[in-house]
Structure 1
Amino acid sequence: MFKKALPFLLVSSLFFGFFSPATSMAEEDYEIPTYYETNKLLTEAALAKNIPPEIAKTLAYQESGWNQFKDGQPYVAPDGGIGIMQVTNDDRFDENLLKTDIKYNINAGLQKLDEKFRGVDGKLPTLNNNDRDILESWYFAILAYNGRVEENSPLKLTTDGSRNAEAYQEKFFKLMNDSFYIGMDIHPIPFDFKPEDFEYSGEPDHLLIFKKDHYEIPEHLLHKTEHKFTQNDILLSADSANFREAPTSLSKSLKDLPSGEREAVRVLDTSFVYDQSNKYGLADDKMRFRQYVWYKVEMQDGRTAYTASSDLTHLGKRLYGKTRYDTAVSISQEGWKDGADAVVLAYGGDFPDALAGTPLAYQLDAPMLLTGVSSLPDSTKAEIKRLTPKAAYILGGTGAISKNVETELKQLGITEINRLGGKTRFETANEIAMHMPNKGDKAVLAYGRNFPDALAIAPYAAKNGYPILLTETNTIPAETANILNDFSQTLVAGGYGVISDNAIANLNTVRFRGADRFGTNADIVRKLDMGSEQAFVATGYNFADALTGAVLAAKKNSHLLLTPPTVIKDPIKTTILEKNYDHFQFLGGKSVVGVENELGKMIKEIDYEK
């Protein structure tokens, strides 16, 4: 049965006593939870049901003004809606508990909302991949929570097809933007609605009928929940944000950014904390909009501070460890959370044998981990135990990775060990290529005496099944030349100084080049599309982090960007703006890839209308 929405002004007035309950439990007075307690209850219940807390808290506010009780009695609206979530007309729930138990009422309301989202009582239109963490994904579930009726049509019931600002879900997102999450710019929702998307049943039910079942919206226009940031996430502050000593705006300010300035910060703790303004003597009636949470972060100057979730935008994540071996483990844990059937092992002290390994690792869905010559580092061992792989692929001969490592792998329970190595780096690359389960019609040719060009093109090569083969500057080794004859085209990574025209004269080639390694990287990224709005960032002066991260980049359909430690080179900067990248995975610690603040400042320069 359709439950009519309360107008926004009336909902807000619940705080000030303009309504009295339609019914009451009469004899017993119930303790009214504080706004702090209600915020906590709504947040934790929403997270338990995998619903964005922003959605749950705004819904509860629009329904009841966060009132489970009124004047000590259960709040029951004139239309029969009960309590904070205004649950009504559902025999599955105990009416007495709906009236007297706020936790029960919240869970009942969120259960109903979740069922709407999942289409339990009728399929609703979906958005993109229907990511539950995206706030806009809940648009139609919010509509259905109030009722699939004509007055909740996203468009006015006229031929002009203008937006219906009075629809329940439209007022919901306006409330979220204007009152709860000021500055999110979440309203109006950027759905491309057309009159033909909807039909109306008319008398007697006045039902809304969906004729279109899916909408696609560019990712950069969407908003993700701000309650799921995790340790080592890189977040971009709001313009002129304040950083506080404690999780409340009433505490001492440690830094106030000037107008027009934003700062990239790193999340330090694994979870958020609730606003503590109540501990600073703030009256409860002034707490009702302080339902955001706070994160402990590391600022650019190295100091720690607290900042409100409503001031933060997700920029990316830093994957790093104390050593290159630990960083490889961090990358593995990010990309292979549930384990892997295989691992690829490369020598952590030098790059030659591993340059060609990314396409193989990608096809095996295997993380690339680093090892020493004669033994596995402790962190690598621990990660292999976590992954529980059945097979391992060792890149390189016994001179690079000894047989003792094979013994250690067997002790870790790996039953299948494959060593892919030749007398030279060129032979090793060929051997790796021959073991790729699936090969495309093209191959990549890169200079074998340095790493940047091969790693810059590695994610694209891996994604497309193109083996990476190595060459000298003026001569392609004979064994490599023979393999290249099997491919219709060769993608040459690097300029004339690293691979001469004479060397590739007999091949059908496409060359990617720039004035230096960063220019070549930029040329590769600009011309070879991966389809993602995020990129991986690694130092261009060492191979290890880019090597192990390239496999994860391929898995995420992302390019790899190389950079000096503290500044982004102009070709890469131009490419970021052209490709509209707005999320980044930072491979390695701040000392080797500390450009997050510069990237954050660039985000606002991106023109999404190009």
Structure 2
Amino acid sequence: MFKKALPIFLVLSLFLGSFGPANSLAEETYDIPTYNETNKLLTDAALAHNIPPEIVKTLAYQESGWNQFKDGKPYVAPDGGIGIMQVTNDDRFDENLLKTDIKYNIDAGLQKLDEKFRGVDGKLPTLNNNDRDILESWYFAILAYNGRVEENSPLKLTTDGSRNAAAYQEKFFRLMNDSFYIGMDIHPIPFDFKPEDFTYSGAPDHLLSFNKSNYQIPEHLLHKTEHKFTQNDILLSADSANFRAAPTSLSKSLKDLPSGEREAVRVLDKSFAYDQSNQYGLADDKMRFRQYVWYKVEMQDGRTAYTASSDLKHLGKRLYGKTRYDTAVSISQEGWKDGADTVVLAYGEDFPDALAGTPLAYQLDAPMLLTKVNSLPDSTKAEIRRLKPKKAYILGGTGAVSKNVETELKQLGIIEISRLGGKTRFETANEIAMHMPNKGDKAVLAYGRNFPDALAIAPYAARNGYPILLTETNKIPAATATILKGFSKTLVAGGFGVISDNAIANLNTIRFRGTDRFGTNADIVKNLEMGSEQAFVATGYNFADALTGAVLAAKKNSHLLLTPPASIKDPIRATILEKKYDHFQFLGGKSVVGIENELGKMIER
């Protein structure tokens, strides 16, 4: 922080106070925490304040070398900074506790840093959407923690626009890059600074003001905290990573990747483990730069190991369960963490009635859950209890989902139950379309005897309010044809083999097609724009996971990609590379969507 000299009366009072009773501050001797203990204190406090631990631990080291005490005494710097976070010039905090209580000192420092980030004492420039988990987002808050002064200008005090390497925040990110998180390649941050972005007050205060409110940096150049990975996250390991038997580099190596190779792994626990090198007799002073943590993971060969967080890359998350019903629940828990007013129920053993359900579920902000004919699976019941909905929509007639399920829904507290079903799958799709609260000017037409094409286009249709209607190959059912007349254009999902030109001859259409389901999927994704840089991935050979996942994909403004279990088809591969997707939600277990390692190699090229 920017420090001011202590008033002379305060210096004298501190000096005179040292002659107090035997238990006075001056005569106390304090235990100095080990680096391992300090690492835990800083990390836990950072997470509690929703600040990346990488930021907090680097800041504490730059401020004090992680010293709350020196020689058993409270550490007070010559400029008045107190303790590990060098807190000063703030009457809100108890000075004695700042000196004697490391947790209190850390909390005080992080409160001040958080206030800088949020602009409590004056707005600072932001980066992109100001994501707190992005390390570079804290650049200006770190500057302000030390002081909004001319010497911390990102540019030298000249008009040539050269970077000011001596600025506090520049030294901070250099320290993070070179010592704390080697290999992160976080410095220098590629801000597009210009001399006109800053104003300098000159003497006597030498203050720095900001003329630009926001900077934009491509997301692939940014770094996210490595302390918030959680269970079932898919991570791409470091280049030539070592997988260990315990959370320390001193433990037995279970696998060493060759140079230039990374491996996609799945996180097994809900949180990380701290480095245990100190338990192996490593000297405490060597713990200083072991700021990283460890994750227990499942390797590609199915074995369990630990890998260090340093240089890990988040590839995505696997949403799955033991059965298709459980996977639907996992998808619901990911997308509707705080509950839902409405749920949509579909028969879990066949697809026809639910094919058209994605746009409706999206507009109702309702997860799609699966049911058996005569009863709700236990996992579905438990999820409904968690969601606490008041309404439910059942897709299909009583032959697919019996009235027994309606009774169970009422027993779970659902007040209003609506059934959308007809005598055929085509009529059911029409019913669903008619109950959509908001409809766009276009409709989607898909083949009603198979699922891939309808599911591939479902997220896009849902986002745009386009109902999904179903057809036979050579003739559109009469009722469906009547409905289609009310739309200005029809998006046809599938090639001539599934929907003939004769069937759509009287419609204003745009057709999306490929040589197979994967080619059609690729054509849809390439030509129908959605805003997210991530994609959802599901098996192209079964409907259940893609069916329930399509609603979440729509909610996340993401496309759905279909794949065989163990390899990526060429049209989908080309689409991923063209769209530059670098994050993926894997719908289903590894046995049905096991392409994470292949994806990892693709995006690292």
Is the partner of 2:26 in helix, strand or coil? coil
Is the partner of 1:311 in helix, strand or coil? coil
1:103-132 C-alpha deviation (Å, 9 max, x unpaired): 111111111101111111111122222221
How far off its partner does 1:11 sit? 24
1:327-377 C-alpha deviation (Å, 9 max, x unpaired): 000000000000001000000000000000000000000000000011110
Is the partner of 1:592 in helix, strand or coil? coil
Q: Is the 8 A contact 2:6 2:79 kept in 1?
A: no
How far off its partner does 1:279 sit? 0.5
Q: Is the 8 A contact 1:11 1:62 kept in 2?
A: no
Equivalent positions of 1:274-293 (< 5 A) are 274-293=274-293
Cα distance, 1:17–1:304 mapped onto 2, change above 3 Å: farther
Cα distance, 1:473–1:67 mapped onto 2, change above 3 Å: same
Q: Is the 8 A contact 1:474 1:499 kept in 2?
A: yes
Cα distance, 1:7–1:268 mapped onto 2, change above 3 Å: farther
Cα distance, 1:18–1:314 mapped onto 2, change above 3 Å: farther
Between the aligned partners of 2:222 and 2:563, the Cα distance in structure 1 is 28
Between the aligned partners of 1:13 and 1:153, the Cα distance in structure 2 is 36
Residue equivalent to 1:153:
153
Cα distance, 1:529–1:13 mapped onto 2, change above 3 Å: farther
How far off its partner does 1:139 sit? 1.1
Q: Is the 8 A contact 2:18 2:25 kept in 1?
A: no
Between stretches 22-31 and 160-169, larger displacement belongs to 22-31
Between the aligned partners of 1:529 and 1:15, the Cα distance in structure 2 is 69
Cα distance, 1:83–1:434 mapped onto 2, change above 3 Å: same
Equivalent positions of 1:75-474 (< 5 A) are 75-474=75-474
1:132-151 C-alpha deviation (Å, 9 max, x unpaired): 11111111111110001111
Q: Is the 8 A contact 1:12 1:65 kept in 2?
A: no
Between the aligned partners of 1:450 and 1:533, the Cα distance in structure 2 is 28
Is the partner of 2:466 in helix, strand or coil? coil
Is the partner of 2:25 in helix, strand or coil? coil
How far off its partner does 1:192 sit? 2.1
How far off its partner does 1:28 sit? 2.5
Q: Is the 8 A contact 1:24 1:73 kept in 2?
A: no
Equivalent positions of 1:2-41 (< 5 A) are 2-3=2-3, 26-41=26-41
Q: Is the 8 A contact 1:234 1:265 kept in 2?
A: yes
How far off its partner does 1:464 sit? 0.6
Between the aligned partners of 2:553 and 2:283, the Cα distance in structure 1 is 49
Between the aligned partners of 2:208 and 2:425, the Cα distance in structure 1 is 66
Cα distance, 1:5–1:587 mapped onto 2, change above 3 Å: farther
Between stretches 189-198 and 38-47, larger displacement belongs to 189-198
1:35-76 C-alpha deviation (Å, 9 max, x unpaired): 000000000111111111111101000101101111221111
Is the partner of 1:445 in helix, strand or coil? strand
Is the partner of 1:141 in helix, strand or coil? helix
Between the aligned partners of 2:71 and 2:201, the Cα distance in structure 1 is 41
How far off its partner does 1:219 sit? 2.0
1:77-113 C-alpha deviation (Å, 9 max, x unpaired): 1111111101111111111111111111111111110
Q: Is the 8 A contact 1:24 1:76 kept in 2?
A: no
How far off its partner does 1:491 sit? 0.7
Between the aligned partners of 1:349 and 1:286, the Cα distance in structure 2 is 58
Cα distance, 1:364–1:487 mapped onto 2, change above 3 Å: same
Structure-2-length-normalised TM-score: 0.95
Residue equivalent to 2:494:
494
Cα distance, 1:589–1:20 mapped onto 2, change above 3 Å: farther
Between the aligned partners of 1:129 and 1:529, the Cα distance in structure 2 is 21
Structure-1-length-normalised TM-score: 0.95
Q: Is the 8 A contact 1:21 1:70 kept in 2?
A: no
Between the aligned partners of 2:9 and 2:28, the Cα distance in structure 1 is 30
Q: Is the 8 A contact 2:532 2:558 kept in 1?
A: yes
Cα distance, 1:513–1:278 mapped onto 2, change above 3 Å: same
How far off its partner does 1:291 sit? 1.6
Cα distance, 1:413–1:329 mapped onto 2, change above 3 Å: same
How far off its partner does 1:587 sit? 0.2
Cα distance, 1:15–1:572 mapped onto 2, change above 3 Å: farther
Cα distance, 1:309–1:315 mapped onto 2, change above 3 Å: same
Is the partner of 2:265 in helix, strand or coil? strand
Between the aligned partners of 2:482 and 2:194, the Cα distance in structure 1 is 58
Between stretches 23-32 and 172-181, larger displacement belongs to 23-32
Is the partner of 1:461 in helix, strand or coil? helix
Instruction: State the number of aligned residues.
Output: 604
Gaps of 5+ in 1: 603-608
How far off its partner does 1:174 sit? 1.3
Q: Is the 8 A contact 2:63 2:86 kept in 1?
A: yes
Q: Is the 8 A contact 2:4 2:89 kept in 1?
A: no
How far off its partner does 1:16 sit? 31
1:136-180 C-alpha deviation (Å, 9 max, x unpaired): 111111111000111111122211212222111111111111111
Cα distance, 1:424–1:15 mapped onto 2, change above 3 Å: farther
Q: Is the 8 A contact 1:5 1:146 kept in 2?
A: no
Q: Is the 8 A contact 2:244 2:253 kept in 1?
A: yes
Q: Is the 8 A contact 1:55 1:135 kept in 2?
A: yes
How far off its partner does 1:211 sit? 1.1
Between the aligned partners of 2:293 and 2:228, the Cα distance in structure 1 is 11
Between stretches 415-424 and 152-161, larger displacement belongs to 152-161
Between stretches 478-487 and 319-328, larger displacement belongs to 478-487
How far off its partner does 1:508 sit? 1.0
Q: Is the 8 A contact 2:5 2:79 kept in 1?
A: no
Cα distance, 1:437–1:256 mapped onto 2, change above 3 Å: same
1:211-238 C-alpha deviation (Å, 9 max, x unpaired): 1112232222221111111100000001
Between stretches 135-144 and 232-241, larger displacement belongs to 135-144
How far off its partner does 1:24 sit? 12
User: How big is the alpha-carbon RMSD for the aligned residues of Structure 1 and Structure 2?
Assistant: 4.5
Cα distance, 1:255–1:5 mapped onto 2, change above 3 Å: farther
Is the partner of 1:274 in helix, strand or coil? coil
Between the aligned partners of 1:373 and 1:8, the Cα distance in structure 2 is 82
Q: Is the 8 A contact 2:181 2:291 kept in 1?
A: no
Is the partner of 1:67 in helix, strand or coil? coil
Q: Is the 8 A contact 1:538 1:545 kept in 2?
A: yes
Q: Is the 8 A contact 1:23 1:76 kept in 2?
A: no
Between the aligned partners of 2:14 and 2:25, the Cα distance in structure 1 is 19
Between the aligned partners of 1:65 and 1:11, the Cα distance in structure 2 is 24
Between stretches 130-139 and 488-497, larger displacement belongs to 130-139
Cα distance, 1:282–1:45 mapped onto 2, change above 3 Å: same
Between the aligned partners of 1:373 and 1:5, the Cα distance in structure 2 is 77
Cα distance, 1:21–1:212 mapped onto 2, change above 3 Å: farther
Between stretches 170-179 and 276-285, larger displacement belongs to 170-179
1:447-473 C-alpha deviation (Å, 9 max, x unpaired): 110000000000000001111111111
Q: Is the 8 A contact 2:444 2:467 kept in 1?
A: yes
Between the aligned partners of 1:283 and 1:7, the Cα distance in structure 2 is 41
How far off its partner does 1:188 sit? 1.5
Is the partner of 1:148 in helix, strand or coil? coil
Q: Is the 8 A contact 1:5 1:63 kept in 2?
A: no
Between the aligned partners of 1:189 and 1:505, the Cα distance in structure 2 is 56
Between the aligned partners of 1:130 and 1:5, the Cα distance in structure 2 is 34
